[in-house]
Amino acid sequence: MLPVSEAVAATPLAPRLTHVDRVERETADTVTLHVSAVDTELPPFAPGQFDMLSALGVGEVPISVSGDPDDRVTRQYTIRAVGAVTRALTSLRPGGVMGVRGPYGHPWPVEAAVGADVVVVAGGLGLAPLRPAIHHLLAHRDRYGRISILYGARSPDELLFADEMQRWQSDVDVAVTVDAPSAPGKAIPPWDGRVGVVTTLIPDALFDPHRATALVCGPEVMMRFTARALADQGVTGERVYVSLERSMACGVGLCGHCQLGPFFVCVDGPVLRHGLVGPWLAVREL
Amino acid sequence: MTAQAASAAGDAARPPESAEVIKADALEDLLDGLGRRGYTVVGPTVADGAIVYDELTSVADLPRGWTDEQSPGRYRLARREDEAWFGYAVGPHSWKRYLLPPTHTAWSAERTADGGMRILDDPSPVPRYAFVGVRSCELAAIAVQDRVFIRGPFADTVYARRRDEVLLVAVNCGDPAGTCFCASMGTGPRATTGFDLALTELLDDEGHRFVVEVGTAAGRALLDDVTHRAAEQRDVAAAVDITDRAAQRMGRQMDVTGIRELLYDNLEHPRWDDVASRCLACGNCTLACPTCFCTSVTDVTDLAGERIERQRAWDSCFTLDFTYTAGAPVRGTTRSRYRQWMTHKLATWIDQFGSSGCVGCGRCITWCPVGIDITEEVAAIRGTEPDESGENET
Ligand SMILES: Cc1cc2nc3c(=O)[nH]c(=O)nc-3n(C[C@H](O)[C@H](O)[C@H](O)COP(=O)(O)OP(=O)(O)OC[C@H]3O[C@@H](n4cnc5c(N)ncnc54)[C@H](O)[C@@H]3O)c2cc1C
Ligand code: SF4
Ligand code: SF4
Ligand code: FES
């Protein structure tokens, strides 16, 4: 009866098939998969966007793209095994087949941040969705002011992309901290760096609080405390961006699972301005 | 009466611009015309003690002489004093089951000879449905789901392909149920838009007949195939009177003034604890609601792993699993889940889709096993529930 939009051609829920080219172990439970499309190339992504990854026959989960946005051939995903689907994905070997659809969601505001300082604050696996933004900032280094990367992990063996972090250090400020230098029952390399939660790095970071943009990703409590610590330094919620995690069964605004108040985290996020989303995050169990 | 209710009543009072009349016998010809055009005709019929939607083979399948009595947590069929075909309100089913089936295959894949996998095209033809007996609130519900499934950033192809083929024959309500409040929501009881044909059933001294309004060219062609005459002034007046009187006899009402702000300002209202102590979190309300759209997916494989299907099914925000994130449900309590459901229907929906997610059909009230009443919950939060606080008694 009604004319239906042309978008109807193909179901947005069917994935493209990809091959795993390489698997890099990051930590005991986390790997980075390098994948490429079997037939048609995957559409380019912007830093902060995610794909829906299918472990065929097991299920589908949202995973942020963690590689370089300028790499048009290979997609990288850094995945922690926590349940059925992520276990199946992290068990894939080179040559393995996996479904990908995307990219989805609102990216980090790397364009809006041009001309001023950028503070990147990552907690744990939260560094993965920020890594494409870091790639972008480094590739266009001259367009930004001071860039600070503040990264906190639970313990030294949980640090992601440690070699890369060394290289980044030559172009930008990098500060790393761990919650605890050792963990009972775990053989952990000796740590002579900072100890403490990631927010403790904020007062020492150099940025102009009145113009800086902050990109923040990590567990929700970490993001809440980070936004508060940034506010204490004078960075308002209007320039603090967080990437949220919610249950997602579609990634495209159709399944209803990811709602947070008026937002569909899949299409309105995952990156949202803290000034906008903070009041909703503050309501328990929303 | 709220502003919206007043304007709805205003709409209902406005006589249709042009109308025709068909005799009751001609309804069979109309159904035949749909069949000839390749439509599968779906409409109301009596099954298992309720008026449900199912495929119709003739007017004999219609719930002739039946009506429904509804109140919170209660539904009962009753005989009417007349032989009306559409003399009830709405049943447990809604048309959404035909536009997005309760379970369906999103896509499937099979193993190829070389050991890889291949995503299969969906070979199933799109069913062409004609819905007969669509209520005004249901037209509004379909329009709500259109905004969710077709007008958003990504179109749901399962819904959109079916929706594109549907022909809608509305039948105006003369007998609202005890749980109806479409007049408050501005969605009824007279159908004013979104139909191919809209009928008003008349059983008076001049005989059993329908006043027919044409909404589209497809509706026009269908009507032209059956014996009809131009409506006279008194036919039109009788039809308008039916819905005018229905508007006055709504079993419930909801004051929707500033409802978005009301709920946003009351996310920690004690009433959420109160309703949580009654709610079973069974999800009946979401299944019965004609606008609720949430789904989940699961993968099904054959034993040999040669074939994979991703199956999609209606889901409910009342389940604990619905929000599992980072090792725990976001909404772990019934309080938070009822709050999500009601706040979504009446408030966040407005931000998301530009309209209320509630059309006032009353199904969630009738089919709630413990009779939780969304209109009463809103009234309680507004602080105007009569038997809760004496000062606000009206
Ligand atoms: C936008 C976005 C981006 C993301 N990016 C990444 C990323 O880059 N890397 C990454 O590793 N993850 C990422 N995630 C998280 C990832 O999607 C989840 O870890 C994944 O969905 C988990 O799925 P699963 O099937 O493996 O685990 P699930 O089976 O869903 O389990 C997840 C956790 O919940 C628990 N759980 C689930 N169901 C139950 C139950 N019924 N009862 C009790 N406990 C239960 C499990 O024990 C486990 O701890 C992202 C999420 C979002 C929304
Ligand atoms: S919330 Fe209740 S009254 Fe409103 S449309 Fe849904 S079922 Fe009908
Ligand atoms: S409101 Fe009623 S129908 Fe809905 S989940 Fe609660 S008990 Fe079930
Ligand atoms: S993930 Fe399905 S609506 Fe957001």
CATH number reported for the structural domain that contains residue A21 in this entry: 2.40.30.10
Indicate the DSSP class of residue A139.
H
Residue nearest to atom 6 of ligand 3 (CA): B279
The answer to whether residues B139 and B170 touch, using CB atoms and an 8 Å cutoff, is yes
H/E segment holding residue B365: helix B363-366
Residue B306 backbone phi and psi in degrees, to 5 = -80, -25
Q: Which residue has the tokens 């909801």?
A: B254
Model pLDDT for residues B159-182, shown as the tens digit of each residue: 999 999 999 999 999 999 999 999
Identity of the amino acid at A217: C
Whole-number pLDDT of residue B1: 33
Model pLDDT for residues B184-240, shown as the tens digit of each residue: 999 999 999 999 999 999 999 999 999 999 999 999 999 999 999 999 999 999 999
A112 by Cβ neighbours in 10 Å (0-12 / 13-18 / 19+) ranks as exposed
CB-CB under 8 Å, B344 with A57: no
Lowest mean per-residue pLDDT among B63-77, B106-120, B276-290: B106-120
Q: Rounded to a whole number, what is the distance in angstroms from the first to the last CA of chain A? A: 38
- How close is the nearest chain A Cα to the Cα of B10, in Å? 26
CB-CB under 8 Å, A58 with B294: no
Whole-number pLDDT of residue B133: 98
Compare B1 and A173 and report the one with higher pLDDT.
A173
Domain coordinates in residue numbering, chain B: 3-103+112-248, 259-292+318-392
B47 by Cβ neighbours in 10 Å (0-12 / 13-18 / 19+) ranks as middle
CB-CB under 8 Å, A247 with B330: yes
Do the domain assignments include residue A263? no
Model pLDDT for residues A170-209, shown as the tens digit of each residue: 999 999 999 998 877 777 888 999 999 999 999 999 999 9
Q: Rounded to a whole number, what is the distance in angstroms from the first to the last CA of chain B? A: 13
Domain end among A43, A77, A104 = A104
| A83 and A141 belong to one structural domain | no
Task: Supply the mean pLDDT for chain B.
Answer: 92
Per-residue pLDDT, averaged over B368-377, amounts to 98
Whole-number pLDDT of residue B384: 64
Q: Which residue has the tokens 């890369």?
A: A164
Q: Which residues of B touch A82 (CB under 8 A)?
A: 327
Task: Supply the mean pLDDT for chain A.
Answer: 94
Model pLDDT for residues B61-104, shown as the tens digit of each residue: 999 999 999 999 999 999 999 999 999 999 999 999 999 999 99
**Atom from ligand 1 closest to the CA of residue A270:** 1
Q: Which bound ligand lies closest to the C-alpha atom of B356?
A: 2
Do the domain assignments include residue A30? yes
| A86 and A129 belong to one structural domain | no
Query: pLDDT tier at B271 (50, 70, 90 boundaries)?
Result: very high
- How close is the nearest chain B Cα to the Cα of A144, in Å? 32
| A123 and A60 belong to one structural domain | no
Compare A6 and B69 and report the one with higher pLDDT.
B69
- How close is the nearest chain B Cα to the Cα of A14, in Å? 6
Is 60 exceeded by the pLDDT of residue A26?
A: yes
| A95 and A132 belong to one structural domain | no
Whole-number pLDDT of residue B11: 46
Domain count, chain A: 2
Give the domain extent around A184. 118-243
Is 80 exceeded by the pLDDT of residue A128?
A: yes
Protein residues with CB under 6 Å of any ligand 2 atom: B 288-291, 345, 358-364, 374
Per-residue pLDDT, averaged over B305-316, amounts to 94
Do the domain assignments include residue A264? no
A203 by Cβ neighbours in 10 Å (0-12 / 13-18 / 19+) ranks as exposed
Is 50 exceeded by the pLDDT of residue A115?
A: yes
Indicate the DSSP class of residue A99.
E
Choose from A244, A257, A277 for mutation: most chain B CBs within 10 A. A257
Domain end among A46, A71, A104 = A104
CATH number at residue A227: 3.40.50.80
Is 70 exceeded by the pLDDT of residue B290?
A: yes
Do the domain assignments include residue A135? yes
Per-residue pLDDT, averaged over B339-361, amounts to 98
| B209 contact A CB<8A | no
Strands (E), B206-314: 207-214, 229-230, 295-301, 307-314
Protein residues with CB under 6 Å of any ligand 4 atom: A 248-251, 253-258, 264, 266
Model pLDDT for residues A48-83, shown as the tens digit of each residue: 999 999 999 999 999 999 999 999 999 999 999 999
Supply the pTM of this predicted model.
Answer: 0.93
What is the best residue among B137, B358, B366 to mutate for testing ligand 2's pocket, by most ligand atoms within 8 Å of CB? B358
| A153 and A237 belong to one structural domain | yes
Closest to B11 (Cα-Cα) out of B192, B216, B214: B192
Q: What percent of chain B has pLDDT over 70?
A: 93
By DSSP bridging, strand B20-23 and strand B229-230 are antiparallel
Contacts of B374 (CB under 8 A, 6+ apart): B254, B342, B345, B346, B358, B364, B365
Contacts of B144 (CB under 8 A, 6+ apart): B290, B291, B353, B355, B356, B357, B359
Is 90 exceeded by the pLDDT of residue A93?
A: yes
